[in-house]
Each structure stands twice: as C-alpha cells, then as structure tokens.
Chain A
Amino acid sequence: MSVALAAVRRKNINPTLRRYLQALRFPRGIGGLILLVILVASALLAPLLFPGGYDQQTSDSLQGLSLAHPFGTDELGRDIFARSLFGLRTDLSIIVVAVPLGMVTGTVIGMLGALSPLAGNIFQRVLDVILGFPGIILGVCVVLVMGAGWASLVVAIAISSLPTFGRLSRAAMLSQSQREYVIAARTLGVSRATIITRHILPNAIDPILVAGTVFVVAAIFIEAGLSIIGLGIQPPQPSLGSLLNSATRFISQSPTYIVGPTVVLFLLALSFSLISDALNRSVNRP
C-alpha cells in the first residue's frame, strides 16, 4: 500500500491508474481497502485455517458465542466462524464473476444502442422490462429456469445490473461522440471501432467503474436475499445468505446464530461502499 502511495506521489505511473489510486488518499478509501484486503485474505486462507473444511460436524450443536467458536456452532455442531469464512469465499467468487460480466455486457449493449437508433430503442425496451421486475423477483425467475445454485446467482446478478450499465454507457457514449476530439478523429479517417475503443471508451469508463463498485453491494444483497428464501446456494455449501437462511430457522433456539454471518455480510458491503464512495470522489475531482 505504502509503495503504491509513494508511486502516486512520484507521479511516475500511468495517469489513469494514478487517478484511481488517488481514491486511497481519502480515509474512507484506504479504510475500505484495508477492510476488503482482510476479508479477501481470510476467505482465501480459510482452507488453511480450517483444514477440516466447512462441513466438520461435532456434538456441540447450536452453541452460543465462545472463544473456541467465536460465532458459535450450528444445528449440526459445525463452527459458524469457519462456515462464515467459506461462505465469504462463495460470495466473493460470485461477485468476481457476475459484476464484471454484467458490466461488460451492459456497456456493450449501451454502446451498440448509441450507435444505431433502432438497436437503441430495442435495448431500451428490454432494459425497461428488466426494470419492471421489482427487486428479487428477477432472481426468482432466473432460478426458475436454471435451478438454484451458483450459476443462476451469477446470471441473476448480471442481468439485474444491465439497466445500470446499459444506460450509463449509452449516455456517456452519446455525450462523448459530440466532443471535438471525436470529431477530429473522425475527420482524420480513424475507423469507427477504433474511435470507440481507443478514444471514447477511456473517457466514458469512469462512471461505469464507479457504478460497478456500487453495484457490488447490490450483488451481495441479491445473493443474500435469494439464499435466504432458499433459492440461492444450497446446503451443505455455505454462503453468507444460506447461513442466514438456516440462522432464521433456528432463531428461537439459538439467537446468536445470525450474528456471525450478519457481521461478515455487513463488513463486506461496508468495504465496497467505502471504496466506491472514495473512487467516486477521486474521479469527480475538478
């Protein structure tokens, strides 16, 4: 981190990257990043910390919070701390695939829509229909087709991100294409594909990237929501949402069950909202 900061100060790195790294100058940016690094590291190290995996059963079922089991144990005597870390792995794996997938698809759709009015109209109607499905109902529809599991969560999250990225990229594309540098490039005979990828895209990417980090939080909540109603990750595999699903079922016997997964979920969402906030401030600086 300090190396990165020093590099920022020396100003000898790629200027675009430098602009993004400047987000680390805000306390919330560096705080969010540290939090995220800790979470990712513990998720990656989970198999080393708990060699028994997430399915190690003991006879101590539904125990409260203790030193041996910081988050207590579940209905089968499994350590909830271990299960939360493995659940975090599941959540991170979904985010890492789903959000970039939605971002790229949405951006391509939006840009194609800006190129031709007909395609633009069709895509807008499609996005309207997606927006017509409130909240988690879109995810429910995806599960209906694909069955519950990791893949349908990824698809559900990617599809619900399309309106955001589609509209942002279309707007950016339309506003950039009237700028002098684009007209200049066009006059010089640069091909349309090159203008879009080499000239417009780098200038349009900021809001899309910021929206991407904001959408990660939404993605976490979509996973949790679908898993809580039993249409997400299926047992015995843990995810933060599926842990909350079982926690709510045992809430009267073991009220502390929900504490662990809730805390991890909250920290994960918090880290990304802090980062997105700092990123937003740093790219919008005059």
Chain B
Amino acid sequence: MIRYIFRRIPSFVIVVALASIVAFLLPRLAPGDPAVQMAGPDATTEQVDAIRHAAGLDLPLVTQYLNWVGGIFHGDLGTSFSYHRPVSELIAASMESSFELAIFAAIIMVVLALVLGVLGGTQLRKTSRTVLDVINTAMIAMPAFLVGLILIVVFGIVLRVLPISGQVNLSENFAEGIKYLILPAIALALGQAAVIARLLQTSMLTTRGEEFVDLATAKGASPARITFRHVLPASLNTAIVALGLRIGELLGGAIVIEAIFSRSGLGQLAVQAVNSRDYFLVQALVIGAVMIAVLSQLTSELVTAAVDPRVRLDG
C-alpha cells in the first residue's frame, strides 16, 4: 500500500507544480500594469514605482515565483491589490459559505448516487427501468446552472417555499442557513450524482453475473443481503474513482451556482479578483482549486487501492 502511495505521488506533484506555474504566469501575461491601477489615475511615476516595489513586482519573475511558493508553505499568500488585505484573510472570510455549499452538495451527491445506483443495479421491471433511465439521462444532460434556474423558478417563484438568493451562515443560524443551502446544493449535486449512479449501476449489473453471486443465491441469501453484502461492495470501485473526479467538477460548478443564487463565496471572490486583476488573490484561488481537485482524485485512487488489492498490485 505504502509503495503504491509513493508511486502515485510524483504525478500528483508534477501536475500541481505545473499548475502553480500556470497560475503564477497567467495574470502576468495579461496586458496592463497592476501597480499603475493600484496607484490611481493621478499617481506620479515614483509613487507607482514605490507600489511596485512594495508588492515585489519589480523582482525577476523567477524570484517572484519562488517567493510566492515559499510564502505558501508559511501560510503567507501575499496581499490583495484591490482589497489591501492579506489574501489568506479574504479567503478565510469567504470560505465558510463555499465550504458549507460544497459539503452539503457532496452529501446530497453521495446519497443520491447510492440510492439511484443501487436502484438501477437491482433487477427491475422493464417500465421501472425505462423511467429510471430517462430520469438519469436527463440529470446527466443538464448542467448545474440549468438545474439551478429550474429550481429557482419552481421552488422560489411558483411555490415560494425556499429562498432563492443570498445566504445565512450555518454558524449563525443553522435552521435558516440550511434553507438557503438546499436549492444551490441540489443544483450542484444532481448532475454529478447521476454520473456516479450510472457507473455504479453498470458495475453492479456486471457483478451480478459473477459466480459468487450465484453461490450466495444458491445458499439461500435474501435478495437484499445479496445486493448489499455481496454485489455492492464488489461494485464500488469505479464509483469511488468517479467520486474523486466529481468533487473537482463540483468546485468548478460552484462558481456559477454562487453567482446564480447570489451567495458571496470563493467563486464570487474569484470573479472579482479576475475583474480587478488581483494577481495574488487569483493565483491563490486557482492553485487552491487545482489542489483540491487533484487531491480528491488522488484520495479516491488510494481508497480504491485500499479496498481492492488488484489495483495496487498491477501497473
């Protein structure tokens, strides 16, 4: 197992390192000088130079990059140009909203994926299977923002049962906060859950053809026991891997969902940072998103390897 972990780490490090270079270079490729922007329209050349020097932007690119990466390990992400506050402080302020959304959406995603997947992986009558397939396909085909818009129309405008814009942090008022979370979290989770459910369904149906399932049937195990004790554990592999990939997608989708439901989370912060060319803020957010995406991918691979020795032994 440990050997497997060590084998997987280099590619993870390479992707994160390359992504950090991309995240670092991108804002600097853009035309325009942030120091001039920060200094305002009436600033003298000396003032602009002073600002540039204070932000370390007059150093060679390689030095700037190394300073930034070195800072990350000390928890120093630089200072935002537009807010004049440390980037780590800004991120911390927006983090609660985004994390609540992501975690709530991830819970819905896992539960829904399991329910739909197990349901699809059991023997069903033809009509029930068709209905399930249609629901599943529709869910896969719709992007999160479309689901979000439909939910807004149905639950926020026609039925008027749930709030459709704004947020209340769970730490302030749990019951009220959940109400604000339900629609965006469902919007975010639905499509991703359908993808995982589809994979789980396929692998469960394949597993049902295996001999150990026949053996269990022959021994007189109940259908429920066969499904949950024999078929499901042997079919979770692909679903777990997909889960890791989907968490990254969840993150990307969250930016748009936050905009639609007017939640002020990390996504909104990122949009503002891009609009104001806030180098350090953008860098930190991009590399953070990439790291979470790649880490969740790695974690799911490790979990798969831990569950199934075939994975860690070959290749």
Contact = CB atoms under 8 A, between A and B. Distances in A.
A90 interface: no
A257 to B, nearest CB: 10
10 contacts: A133-B19, A134-B252, A137-B255, A137-B289, A140-B286, A217-B141, A224-B145, A248-B149, A259-B153, A269-B141
B248 A134 contact: yes
Given A134-B248, A144-B30, A228 B145 contact: yes
B26 A144 contact: yes
Interface string A124-164: 01001100111111001101111100000000000000000
A259 B154 CA distance: 12
Interface in A229-250: 229-231, 244-245, 248
B252 A135 contact: yes
Interface in A31-80: none
B145 A225 contact: yes
A20 interface: no
A12 B271 CA distance: 55
A251 interface: yes
A221 B143 contact: yes
A282 interface: no
Interface of A: 125, 128-129, 132-137, 140-141, 143-147, 217, 221, 224-225, 228-231, 244-245, 248, 251-252, 255, 258-259, 262, 265-266, 269-270, 273
Interface of B: 11, 14-16, 18-19, 22-23, 26-27, 29-30, 141, 143, 145-146, 149-150, 152-153, 156-157, 164-165, 248-249, 251-253, 255-256, 259-260, 262, 267, 270-271, 274-275, 277, 282, 286, 289-290, 293-294
A142 to B, nearest CB: 8
The 6 closest A-B pairs by CB, nearest first: A135-B252, A134-B248, A134-B252, A255-B157, A221-B143, A134-B293
Given A145-B29, A145-B30, A136 B271 contact: no
B208 to A, nearest CB: 25
B252 A145 contact: no
Nearest to B278: A144
A282 B235 CA distance: 31
**Majority-rule SS of B interface residues:** helix
Given A134-B293, A224-B143, A262-B149, A230 B249 contact: no
Contacts of B282: 144
A246 to B, nearest CB: 12
A121 B286 CA distance: 25
A75 B67 CA distance: 48
Given A140-B255, A225-B143, A229-B267, A129 B157 contact: no
Contact of A244 (B14, B141, B149, B253): B149
Given A135-B248, A231-B274, A141 B22 contact: yes
A128 B290 CA distance: 11
A259 to B, nearest CB: 8
Contacts of A231: 271, 274-275
A149 B70 CA distance: 35
A255 B259 CA distance: 16
B26 A141 contact: yes
A129 B249 contact: no
Contacts of A270: 141
B255 A129 contact: no
Nearest to A245: B259
Contacts of B249: 134-135
Contacts of A146: 30
Contacts of B164: 251-252
Contacts of B141: 217, 269-270, 273
Contacts of B152: 248, 251, 258
Contacts of A252: 164-165
Given A125-B18, A225-B256, A255-B157, A134 B289 contact: yes
Given A128-B11, A133-B19, A134-B252, A230 B30 contact: no
Contacts of A135: 248-249, 251-253, 255
A231 B256 CA distance: 11
A94 B73 CA distance: 41
Contacts of A265: 146
A206 B58 CA distance: 52
A224 B148 CA distance: 13
Given A137-B286, A244-B149, A273-B141, A228 B27 contact: no
A119 B75 CA distance: 37
A230 B271 CA distance: 8
A284 B259 CA distance: 41
Contacts of B274: 140, 143-144, 231
A129 B286 CA distance: 12
